[in-house]
């Protein structure tokens, strides 16, 4: 094979050549005109945050998405596969403070880097729809969206206890606080009482939970969202304090244990705590305790393992089910922002209440039978409660007790959520301005739609000072009220970047529209996203916010669907030596290094071949060389076979011998790759199947006919195309002169998937003793008889009784002997 040494697989030449074709012909652009009879497919990878250069995770993300996009195109769908940049945000601004480089400039530089790399990777993007969320032509509509929500009361301004990051000098959403620390900089957050902007996401708590049932998302992501929303059902029960004549409702998931309540606890932040203690001997102690708790850190207070602390209030409340007076306490294990800020304590059946009762020597009462020791939190019949309920199973009793309280007007069924409203305002510069004007006479006035966008002004000082840097832009801040024309001031806070990214997938559908955020007709043609691909780190934040926005827009009447992402795939992280790659660890690897060395196709294939794409995997330099070797083998075999002349990829009519083996393997590979792509994202095994086909090609190289070889290699090129588009296109072109992306996805011929002989395994007592070939259509009796004939089987059944025979046609025979 003298040609082998002459022809070298040269991605440096191949890749730019095909990229030029796709660029010149705008191959991956799609129009918005209706096309009857063609199924649409909207394939989307999460948009990148442009900070520095793209990393390996981006390469993997776009490699996966591109494989899906290509596969969908070649299986007859019209594919929308756009790209954009989540360009606003803190890192660009912090970078600006550090280096003096303007956020606008550093962001632009990073976007240019992404554009360069994405083209160099050969990703099939419709560039005509590209935008950055920081461009006025985009955020004009982000502001419009904000106003839509504002006008329906879904965006509101309110004073509340909020998370404040002292380092970044801005408030944060609950979702951005991890273990009591800022998710960006790791600084411990403080709780401040501030007036801020919120989206009323809690109105959608139930809808967000229920909608999960209708979407094809990984179960663990759904679970995370359900846990985050944290729906608990129970009852609200009112306790009265006769000394002051005040009433305190509590939320409980266990009204069945009401008869076991032996004390009552309020959160230190509860507005009535000081008033209750006033005039009692505990007044000073309560004041001290409340002041002490106020100084406590998030982390300290959140530790469930530390000893319970608290102080008596010197008052008591009446348990509405039995009229018993129980003492009141203030303790920091009760939180103001969940439920009502007060609880009934049932130490017999709750660990925390039990711990508190032990520390303060309070009575512990058993009202549910079961378990050996208290506290017992399981199910069981009621005891020592009330003759009407004693003996009933606790779940049954729960319903009965709530119904009875409801009758008496002392309680009612209730549902509580862990989810809080989405705090969206930020006291930072590099974000979308909130399109609101503060007028002394009219209050909060929306900027009229025809005056959008409210453009982000240039400022010189980004340093966070506890108020938005925009406040320093006096000329910009000063304006007139759109309603009354009086002197007014602009809102100076900007929006959380998660607002920008909560709707970008809608804008791609109609990115060039200057009249509206989108044309409903056009949106109907593309939305929702059929396949969304990205990292799990967005399981809650971005994915829940987007779902909320889409549901809200649907209710407003602007959309006719209510889930943005029909299917979600979460890719695993690429780690280095088992650790997450990061600048600080110095263990980053750059895609450029590997694209330079092996080409984009190799780097792309490797990120998918390394392991199941949804799993975390460790990068190994040795393994990527193996993938490069494979692409070289495929390409050289194609170049070699193409030496016999170009022709269409067609299988020989009636192959025999080596030809038949080769044609069969090709059809097997078609079937394998197709099922791996359709049913699941098993790209690793799909690529392995193409490797097997190429290996088979080499195996039969000197014996198979040129026709059979040609068909097998052209099939391999066709199948590898979604993963290695340049190598696939080039090999296919060498063999056929055709463009592989214009060819329909190959179809497996069932005649070649079935074999006329199959290997039968013979087991004796479940252990494999022999194998033999039998006609595929052989009957049970024939197979069993043949199995018994095998010498090694004979040796194992000789002199024993065959008590049972199991025959699985086409697979095995199991002889059970005694």
Q: Which of the residues 527 through 586 are near RNA (CB under 7 A)?
A: 536, 540
602 neighbors 624 (Cβ within 8 angstroms) = yes
Q: Which is nearer to RNA, 295 or 767 (CB)?
A: 767
Give CA–CA dist 540/547, Å, rounded: 10
Q: Is 654 in the site for RNA (CB under 7 A)?
A: no
For every residue of 571-600, DSSP letters joined together read: EPPEEETTEE--TTTT----HHHHHHHH-H
Q: Which is nearer to RNA, 10 or 458 (CB)?
A: 10
Q: Which of 7, 119, 524, 629 binds RNA (CB under 7 A)?
A: 629
Residue 592 CB, shortest distance to RNA, in Å, is: 13
Within residues 232-271, the interface with RNA by CB under 7 A covers: 232, 234, 250-254, 267
Residue 338 CB, shortest distance to RNA, in Å, is: 4
Residues with Cβ within 8 Å of 301's Cβ and at least 6 positions away in sequence, in order, are: 293, 332
Q: Which of 127, 144, 338, 360 binds RNA (CB under 7 A)?
A: 338
Q: Tell me which residue of 136, 112, 116 sits closest to 51, measured CA to CA.
A: 112
Give the CA angle between residues 758, 763, 764 to the nearest 5°: 155
73 neighbors 29 (Cβ within 8 angstroms) = no
Residue 575 CB, shortest distance to RNA, in Å, is: 10
Residue 177 CB, shortest distance to RNA, in Å, is: 8
Residue length of the chain: 818
Q: Which is nearer to RNA, 27 or 685 (CB)?
A: 685
Q: Tell me which residue of 487, 497, 387 sits closest to 431, measured CA to CA.
A: 497
Q: Is 800 in the site for RNA (CB under 7 A)?
A: no
Q: Which of 289, 333, 635, 711 binds RNA (CB under 7 A)?
A: 333
Residue 647 CB, shortest distance to RNA, in Å, is: 23
Alpha carbon dihedral 358, 363, 364, 367, in 10-degree steps, equals -170
Q: Which of 207, 625, 660, 774 binds RNA (CB under 7 A)?
A: 625
Stretch of 59-67, 104-112, 219-227, 431-439 contacting RNA, by CB under 7 A: 219-227
Q: Which of 57, 84, 632, 722 binds RNA (CB under 7 A)?
A: 632
Residue 200 CB, shortest distance to RNA, in Å, is: 18
Within residues 757-786, the interface with RNA by CB under 7 A covers: 759, 761, 763, 765-769, 771
What is the three-class DSSP state of 679?
Answer: coil
**Upper half-sphere CA count for residue 806 (Cβ side, 13 Å):** 12
Residue 46 CB, shortest distance to RNA, in Å, is: 17
Query: How many whole angstroms from its chain centre is CA 593?
Result: 29
Residue 435 CB, shortest distance to RNA, in Å, is: 31
Q: Which is nearer to RNA, 496 or 671 (CB)?
A: 671
Q: Which is nearer to RNA, 97 or 778 (CB)?
A: 778
For 157-192, b/e burial (b = at least 16 CB within 10 A) is beeeebbbbeebbbbbbbbbbeeebbbbeeebbebe
Residues with Cβ within 8 Å of 2's Cβ and at least 6 positions away in sequence, in order, are: none
Q: Is 230 in the site for RNA (CB under 7 A)?
A: yes
Residue 677 CB, shortest distance to RNA, in Å, is: 12
Stretch of 88-96, 222-230, 427-435, 467-475 contacting RNA, by CB under 7 A: 222-230
Alpha carbon dihedral 789, 790, 795, 801, in 10-degree steps, equals -40
Residues with Cβ within 8 Å of 668's Cβ and at least 6 positions away in sequence, in order, are: 689, 693, 748, 752, 753
Q: Which is nearer to RNA, 322 or 695 (CB)?
A: 695
DSSP 745: P
Within residues 94-113, the interface with RNA by CB under 7 A covers: none
Within residues 601-620, the interface with RNA by CB under 7 A covers: 609-612, 615-618, 620
Q: Which is nearer to RNA, 445 or 669 (CB)?
A: 669
| Count of C-beta atoms within a 10 Å radius of residue 152 | 12
Q: Which of 205, 627, 641, 663 binds RNA (CB under 7 A)?
A: 627
Q: Is 308 in the site for RNA (CB under 7 A)?
A: yes
DSSP 79: E
| Count of C-beta atoms within a 10 Å radius of residue 78 | 16
Residue 610 CB, shortest distance to RNA, in Å, is: 5
Q: Which is nearer to RNA, 78 or 699 (CB)?
A: 699
Beta-strand ranges (E) seen in 280-370 are: 311-318, 325-330, 342-345
Q: Which of 276, 343, 649, 740 binds RNA (CB under 7 A)?
A: 343
Q: Which is nearer to RNA, 439 or 539 (CB)?
A: 539
Q: Which is nearer to RNA, 373 or 514 (CB)?
A: 373
Burial group, residue 486, by CB count within 10 angstroms (0-12, 13-18, 19+): exposed
| Count of C-beta atoms within a 10 Å radius of residue 51 | 19
Q: Tell me which residue of 173, 102, 151, 206 sits closest to 499, measured CA to CA.
A: 173
From residue 675 to residue 694, what is the string marking binding to RNA with x (rule CB under 7 A)? x---x--x-xx-xx--xx--
Q: Which is nearer to RNA, 228 or 404 (CB)?
A: 228
Within residues 266-305, the interface with RNA by CB under 7 A covers: 267, 301-304
Continuous segment of H or E residues that includes residue 65: helix 56-74
Stretch of 66-74, 334-342, 435-443, 584-592 contacting RNA, by CB under 7 A: 334-342
For 315-338, b/e burial (b = at least 16 CB within 10 A) is bbbbbbbeeeebbbbbbbbbebeb
Residue 680 CB, shortest distance to RNA, in Å, is: 8
Number of H helices, E strands in the chain: 28, 32
Residue 807 CB, shortest distance to RNA, in Å, is: 9
> What does the H/E/C string look like for 445-512?
EECCHHHCCCCCCCCCCCCCCCCCHHHHCHHHHEEECCCCCCEEEECCCEECHHHHCCCHHHHHHHCC
Residue 539 CB, shortest distance to RNA, in Å, is: 7
499 neighbors 146 (Cβ within 8 angstroms) = yes
Give the CA angle between residues 443, 447, 451 to the nearest 5°: 155
Q: Which of 463, 480, 792, 794 binds RNA (CB under 7 A)?
A: 792
493 neighbors 434 (Cβ within 8 angstroms) = yes
Q: Which is nearer to RNA, 317 or 552 (CB)?
A: 317
Within residues 158-217, the interface with RNA by CB under 7 A covers: 178-179
For 555-567, b/e burial (b = at least 16 CB within 10 A) is eeebbeebbbbbb
Stretch of 164-172, 227-235, 425-433, 510-518 contacting RNA, by CB under 7 A: 227-235
Q: Which is nearer to RNA, 179 or 449 (CB)?
A: 179
Within residues 410-439, the interface with RNA by CB under 7 A covers: 416, 418
Parallel/antiparallel/unpaired status of strands 579-580 and 757-764 = unpaired
Q: Which of 339, 411, 469, 652 binds RNA (CB under 7 A)?
A: 339
Q: Which is nearer to RNA, 470 or 541 (CB)?
A: 541
Stretch of 46-54, 202-210, 670-678, 735-743 contacting RNA, by CB under 7 A: 670-678
Stretch of 126-134, 152-160, 437-445, 804-812 contacting RNA, by CB under 7 A: 804-812
Q: Is 794 in the site for RNA (CB under 7 A)?
A: no
Q: Which is nearer to RNA, 388 or 580 (CB)?
A: 580
CA distances from 639 to 276, 387, 597, 733 (A): 88, 89, 22, 10
Q: Which of 3, 38, 158, 223 binds RNA (CB under 7 A)?
A: 223
User: Count residues contacting RNA (CB under 7 A)?
Assistant: 97
Q: Which is nearer to RNA, 102 or 734 (CB)?
A: 734
Within residues 695-734, the interface with RNA by CB under 7 A covers: 695, 698-699
């Amino acid at each position: 094979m003298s040609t082998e040494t002459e022809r070298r697989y040269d991605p440096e030449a191949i890749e730019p050549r095909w990229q030029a074709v796709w660029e010149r012909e705008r191959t991956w652009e799609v129009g918005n005109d209706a096309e009857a009879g063609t199924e649409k497919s909207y394939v989307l990878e999460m948009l990148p945050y442009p900070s520095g250069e793209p990393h390996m995770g981006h390469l993997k993300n776009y490699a996966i998405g591109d494989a899906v996009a290509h596969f969908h195109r070649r299986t007859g769908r019209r594919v929308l596969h756009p790209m954009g940049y989540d360009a606003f945000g803190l890192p660009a601004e912090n970078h600006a403070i550090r280096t003096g480089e303007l956020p606008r400039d550093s962001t632009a530089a990073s976007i240019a880097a992404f554009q360069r790399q994405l083209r160099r990777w050969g990703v099939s993007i419709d560039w005509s729809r590209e935008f950055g969320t920081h461009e006025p032509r985009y955020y004009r509509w982000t502001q419009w969206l904000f106003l839509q929500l504002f006008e329906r009361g879904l965006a509101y301004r309110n004073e509340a206890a909020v998370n404040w990051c002292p380092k970044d000098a801005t408030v944060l959403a609950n979702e951005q606080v991890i273990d009591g620390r800022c998710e960006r900089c790791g600084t411990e957050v403080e709780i401040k009482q501030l007036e801020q902007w919120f989206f009323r996401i809690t109105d959608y708590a139930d809808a967000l939970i229920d909608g999960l049932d209708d979407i094809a998302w990984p179960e663990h992501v759904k679970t995370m969202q359900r846990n985050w929303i944290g729906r608990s059902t129970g009852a609200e029960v009112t306790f009265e304090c006769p000394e002051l004549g005040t009433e305190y409702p509590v939320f409980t998931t266990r009204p069945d244990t009401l008869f076991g309540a032996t004390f009552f606890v309020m959160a230190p932040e509860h507005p009535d705590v000081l008033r209750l203690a006033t005039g009692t001997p505990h007044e000073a102690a309560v004041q001290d305790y409340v002041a002490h708790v106020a100084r406590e850190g998030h982390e300290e207070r959140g530790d469930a393992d530390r000893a319970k602390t608290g102080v008596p209030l010197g008052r008591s409340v009446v348990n509405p089910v039995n009229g018993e007076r129980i003492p009141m306490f203030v303790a920091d294990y009760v939180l103001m922002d969940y439920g009502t800020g007060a609880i009934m304590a049932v130490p017999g059946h709750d660990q925390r209440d039990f711990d508190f009762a032990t520390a303060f020597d309070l009575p512990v009462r058993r009202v549910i039978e079961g378990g050996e020791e208290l506290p017992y939190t399981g199910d069981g019949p009621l005891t020592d409660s009330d003759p009407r309920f004693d003996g009933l199973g606790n779940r049954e009793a729960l319903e009965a007790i709530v119904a009875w309280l409801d009758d008496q007007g002392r309680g009612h069924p209730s549902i509580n959520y862990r989810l809080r409203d989405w705090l969206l305002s930020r006291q930072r510069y590099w974000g979308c301005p909130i399109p609101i004007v503060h007028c002394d006479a009219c209050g909060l006035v929306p900027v009229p739609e025809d005056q959008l966008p409210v453009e982000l002004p240039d400022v010189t000082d980004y340093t966070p000072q506890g108020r938005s840097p925009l406040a320093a832009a006096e000329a910009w801040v000063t304006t007139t009220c759109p309603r009354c024309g009086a002197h007014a001031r602009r809102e100076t806070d900007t929006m959380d970047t998660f607002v920008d990214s909560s709707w970008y997938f809608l804008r791609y559908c109609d990115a060039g529209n200057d009249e509206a955020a989108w044309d409903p007709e056009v949106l109907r043609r593309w939305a929702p996203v059929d396949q969304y691909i990205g990292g799990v780190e967005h399981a809650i934040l971005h994915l829940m916010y987007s779902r909320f926005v889409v549901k809200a827009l649907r209710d407003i009447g602007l959309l006719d669907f209510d889930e943005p992402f029909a299917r979600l795939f979460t890719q695993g992280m690429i780690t280095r030596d088992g650790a997450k790659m990061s600048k600080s660890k110095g263990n980053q690897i750059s895609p450029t290094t590997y694209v330079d060395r092996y080409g984009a196709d190799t780097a792309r294939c490797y990120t998918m071949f390394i392991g199941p794409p949804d799993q975390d995997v460790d990068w190994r330099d040795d393994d990527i060389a193996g993938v490069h070797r494979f692409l070289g083998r495929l390409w050289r075999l194609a170049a070699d076979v193409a030496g016999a002349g170009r022709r269409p990829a067609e299988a020989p009519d009636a192959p025999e011998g080596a030809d038949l083996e080769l044609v069969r393997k090709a059809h097997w590979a078609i079937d394998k790759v197709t099922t791996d792509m359709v049913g699941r994202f098993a790209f690793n095994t799909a690529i392995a199947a193409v490797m097997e086909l190429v290996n088979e090609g080499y195996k039969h190289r000197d014996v198979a006919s040129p026709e059979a070889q040609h068909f097998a290699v052209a099939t391999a090129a066709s199948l590898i195309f979604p993963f290695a588009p340049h190598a696939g296109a080039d090999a296919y072109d060498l063999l056929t002169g055709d463009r592989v992306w214009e060819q329909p996805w190959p179809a497996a011929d069932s005649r070649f998937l079935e074999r006329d002989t199959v290997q039968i395994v013979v087991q004796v007592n479940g252990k494999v003793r022999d194998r033999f070939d039998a006609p595929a259509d052989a009957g049970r009796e024939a197979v069993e008889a043949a199995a018994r004939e095998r010498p090694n089987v004979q040796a194992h059944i000789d002199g024993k009784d065959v008590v049972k025979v199991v025959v699985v046609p086409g697979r095995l025979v199991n002889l059970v002997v005694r």
